[in-house]
Structure 1
């Protein structure tokens, strides 16, 4: 991170190595940036040498780790950030701590960094070991050698550019990746490597770097290899001052071709899913239309047949109907049952595409209403209903009523043989989630059959004694799933059953 106003020492005139102007700024300084709370965001080579941390070890850590225990207890790190925030910059001299625990006497400059609107974005930190020229020379030499090694062997593509965007340096491995040697590229505009479609945006980004030397810029674009093949790269660029005070641009490019291919595949799959979703929506509408057709075309003949049976019984006297009356009544009962089955199937199908309309639902009140309707069908049955008060949930009221009708209706049917039936509706805490339940003391079922309860038309052994279609609990499961919850049952044969269900805060996408 280049710091506005900071100029490195002048280079040794005897040194004509082309790396020297860009390495000189690293010789004596640990330069890194912090976020607004003091956590390290970037880390240069000088910082690695001076402080002892590799970049992957220090990024994200709080910069107080460089201070002595005494300074930390005194709140010195936080105090320096406050001063830099209010005054723009603060300078301090004192002991600092390396990774290995060793101390060195340092001069530290912390400056606040702001965006174009003046909002605080973080801080730059420049630390220099001022223990003595010998230590400084050793650090500089190590920094020089280490930088050369990093530049030569770094697998990323590294470039330094001048203000005209000409390549001053190209890392050997970066040039090799592109099919060149460094000498073929150095001195040429970096834009010769950029695909023509991306060249204007890259040029604009690099010029913006020169205007904002205290900011890191990122951009994704395509570069062209010597053989003409294209590669997607992520570029990280920042303007820095060289030894003569001129602005250059440091650029790091990483190959992200695999990532872009994955993104393109995701986009392709999303497009396929969008098409299939549209097809599914059309199919659902067709199914809805079919359901109405079924309701009309199947129910109408059944209704006519039932009316004819009723007419025959009423029109003819007992003697003329004779023994056929029982058969006619059986036909009428069958037609009514088929009509109810069609209604149940329509409800089950409709739930698959009806979006839940969430409102506050008083489950306790709804359970009392459902129970009252059950009692009216057999008022003489001895029953003990236990309904918890104050149970409310945010859900679709009409769909939740179907849930309670089915669960309480099942409990009513499966307790028929009990001398005194007990049916309970309440809530329990299951793994921190409220689970509403209907519990009865009926016949129950074997544990191995619990999963079959929620499959359409799958009934447990012994269930044939109870009137039903085997679709009620499947309807419950579909409704609860549409509410983002789950439903399950627990039972032991002969010891009753409990059916639990949960309701999520958000609907499931089905």
Structure 2
């Protein structure tokens, strides 16, 4: 802008003089003044940007490697300026450099040093040949033209150098920012070439116990930081990188700190060219703490497996003892019980007529107690079987099973009139024998506790609860107090007296254990005199009405 204004106003000043000698003196003074001002500006511009050695300890070359598209655009701008000036020369004349100063300025800004110098040379050639008298010739008829060409060339060089220095400054600023990030990083970064470190950051030196990177760069070979057992493998990985056999690689090895203590290292590397020769650049992570934590986890897992093995052995032994107990209950205890029941029955049949009063009552109590003892033994055996053995995965039609079980209960007590309703299409997956036992216990429970209800009703249905499918058995019988609901599923726990409702107190406990073995949950809701609802879930795929198992 300064050059354009200088030429514009100084040339208009020259037009006002008619004496050639005066014009020559003023042109000379104008040129010398412009050269002096340009020199001062050039000096200031080149010293505003610090020298490269102040930015980095490593020398850097002036960037003349502009991209081909930028260089092409830089050369194209003076051509556009020439086309415009040629078109409007009648208006612009005699200001030959009017459009070429901004053209060279933008060319150097876009194309850097190479683009600016090329645009300057092209602009001088075009203006000299087409616009400086005599036109269409490289001869000069006026001394002032030499000064104008020199001034323009100097400004073009100045623009190119300033923009190049600004590019260097920007690049160095980015370099400093990147170096700060690298040096402050806790991750170790390295460049390896021919088995030596050509660069490491502070994080790398700290990981291996050194005070500064200078103690490692170009001094220590890589192998000195690697445990003996891993040196060949690390050297082979570096060789494969350098040979181009692999581009990226990640591996672990045992490293050696300065004091000789081992550390676990995880290395990431990538092949690249450094100073025109193959090298490896990458990062290292100190994973010693992670490896120690993994070792602790492995030790804990091993201990846990050992404990599980012990518990399994103990459980196996307990199951064997339980099997022995069940065998004793089913055989050894039943034998004297059968004898007691048999003799008491024979006594009734043979001498019943002779027994009167309390004697007959005592005999009836013996018979009743024997029957009760038999029921308890059967209940214990059923409870034992519910927690042993493998589960099968069957598909059970709950609706059909419930209808059949209710019909059997009705045949056992034909004098009772109980209304029932079973939702059709209920199905579930699980051990069919065990699930049927659960359903029987719940239905028998409902049948028993509606005995004193005027219009007994039993309903079997399914409902959804928080995304879970529940199968329900509801009745309008005696019900229970929810404050004692936890006792319902404990063996031999009863909420009603024996003379009110008979039973062993094992049925609901057996049902709960079967459902728990299937991974489900059973719960009860009720109110005294208002009936009860027992619901259970089966996590295995189960269906309701209209669903397929």
TM range (shorter): 0.5 to 0.7
Distance in 1 (alpha carbons) for counterparts of 2:380 and 2:170: 81
**Does the 8 Å CA contact 2:430/2:518 hold for their aligned counterparts?**
yes
Aligned residue in 1 for 2:511: 476
More strand by share: 1
Name the CA shift for 1:178/1:252 in 2 (closer, same or farther; >3 Å).
closer
TM-aligned CA deviation for residue 246 of structure 1? 1.5
Is 1:423 aligned to residue 458 of structure 2?
yes
TM-aligned CA deviation for residue 262 of structure 1? 4.4
Correspondence 1:210-225 to 2 at 5 A: 210=242, 216-225=248-257
Q: What is the aligned counterpart of 2:421 among 341, 364, 386?
A: 386
**Does the 8 Å CA contact 2:55/2:176 hold for their aligned counterparts?**
no
Aligned residue in 2 for 1:105: none
Aligned residue in 2 for 1:46: none
Q: What is the aligned counterpart of 1:267 among 301, 309, 319?
A: 301
Consecutive unaligned residues in structure 1, runs of 5 or more: 1-12, 22-26, 30-131
TM-aligned CA deviation for residue 435 of structure 1? 0.8
Aligned residue in 2 for 1:178: 208
Aligned residue in 2 for 1:452: 487
TM-aligned CA deviation for residue 397 of structure 1? 0.2
Task: Render the CA deviation track for 1:284-314: whole Å, top value 9, x for unaligned.
Answer: 3333333223322222222222122122223
Number of equivalent positions: 389
Correspondence 1:1-400 to 2 at 5 A: 137=168, 140-162=171-193, 164=195, 166-181=196-211, 182-186=213-217, 187-199=219-231, 201-203=233-235, 205-207=237-239, 209-210=241-242, 216-255=248-287, 256-279=290-313, 280-316=315-351, 318-319=353-354, 323-400=358-435
Consecutive unaligned residues in structure 2, runs of 5 or more: 1-51, 68-162, 543-549
Name the CA shift for 1:494/1:16 in 2 (closer, same or farther; >3 Å).
same
Distance in 2 (alpha carbons) for counterparts of 1:486 and 1:156: 52
**Does the 8 Å CA contact 2:428/2:541 hold for their aligned counterparts?**
no
Kindly name which structure, 1 or 2, has the bigger radius of gyration based on alpha carbons. 2
Please give the secondary structure, in 1, of the residue aligned with 2:354. Answer: helix
Please give the secondary structure, in 1, of the residue aligned with 2:492. Answer: coil
Distance in 2 (alpha carbons) for counterparts of 1:360 and 1:153: 65
Distance in 2 (alpha carbons) for counterparts of 1:192 and 1:495: 85
Please give the secondary structure, in 1, of the residue aligned with 2:270. Answer: strand
Please give the secondary structure, in 1, of the residue aligned with 2:186. Answer: coil
TM-score (norm 1): 0.67
Please give the secondary structure, in 2, of the residue aligned with 1:246. Answer: strand
TM-aligned CA deviation for residue 506 of structure 1? 8.2
TM-aligned CA deviation for residue 193 of structure 1? 3.4
Aligned residue in 2 for 1:78: none
Moved more, 333-342 or 227-236: 227-236
TM-score (norm 2): 0.62
**Does the 8 Å CA contact 1:453/1:473 hold for their aligned counterparts?**
yes
Name the CA shift for 1:461/1:321 in 2 (closer, same or farther; >3 Å).
closer
Please give the secondary structure, in 2, of the residue aligned with 1:288. Answer: helix
TM-aligned CA deviation for residue 258 of structure 1? 4.9
More helix by share: 2
TM-aligned CA deviation for residue 407 of structure 1? 0.9
Please give the secondary structure, in 1, of the residue aligned with 2:478. Answer: coil
Distance in 2 (alpha carbons) for counterparts of 1:322 and 1:222: 95
Name the CA shift for 1:246/1:374 in 2 (closer, same or farther; >3 Å).
same
Name the CA shift for 1:389/1:308 in 2 (closer, same or farther; >3 Å).
same
TM-aligned CA deviation for residue 483 of structure 1? 1.2
TM-aligned CA deviation for residue 20 of structure 1? 8.4
Aligned residue in 1 for 2:76: none
Distance in 2 (alpha carbons) for counterparts of 1:490 and 1:344: 24
Cα RMSD between the aligned structures?
3.6
Of structures 1 and 2, the one scoring higher in RCO (CA 8 A, sep 6+) is 1
